[in-house]
Amino acid sequence: MSTRLTVPISEKDIRALHIGDQVLLSGVIFTGRDAAHKYMVETFIKGKCPSGERVLYDVLKAGLRGGVIYHCGPVVRKREDGEYQFVAAGPTTSIREEPYQGAVIEHFGLRGVIGKGGMSEKTLAACQKHGAVYLHAIGGAATLIAESVKQVVAVHKLDFGVPEAFWQIRVEDFPCVVTMDSHGQSLHEKIEADSKRKLAALLGQ
């Protein structure tokens, strides 16, 4: 059975989740990849927010508190009515955001990070300390996932390029699985450890 979560998500609801739990996510979330994470850390967390970036900072600060960021470089088309539509919305590899993710979770009050492949110790520690989870999306199902994107609310930093921009989207029943929880558990670490044990056994070590 899947747990239904609606953004903004409370810390209590996040703490109730454990690795292996299936989640159906609804509400307004943001996409953000390499350029977006680097920008957030350097401009807002480590740097002094320039006056020209204050509006976006306020949008992110409000939208990410209790919210979710999705590691995704979407394929987007502009309809005849001028509105954007997601054509494909598959997850990108999350480990590239490892240098930034813990700081983003702490500063913006994130409750969830969606991607594929998992993340490492710094992100896991941030999830445990601040009450967040890593949610694994289905790789290779970009078109299917795009069906859960019901509306493009806004786009920010489009000058980064379509894949790297902040897309603010409303999703309904976005399917994902908890693979890093707020209790220090990582399914990715467990799988890696099991794989190493099995390899050692095969090699007779």
Residues carrying an active site annotation: 37
**Rounded to an integer, what distance in angstroms lies between the CA atom of residue 199 and that of residue 115?**
27
Give, for 87, the enclosing helix (H) or strand (E): strand 84-88
Which helix (H) or strand (E) segment is 93 a member of?
Answer: none
Tokens describing residue 89: 């919305």
Q: Which helix (H) or strand (E) holds 18?
A: none
Residue 96's nearest CA partner among 112, 111, 115 is 115
Cβ atoms of 67 and 9 within 8 Å: the answer is yes
What letter represents residue 123's amino acid? T
Return d(Cα 167, Cα 105) in angstroms, integer. 18
Spatial CA neighbour of 176 closest among 113, 108, 120: 113
Secondary structure element (H or E) that encloses residue 5, with its range: strand 3-6
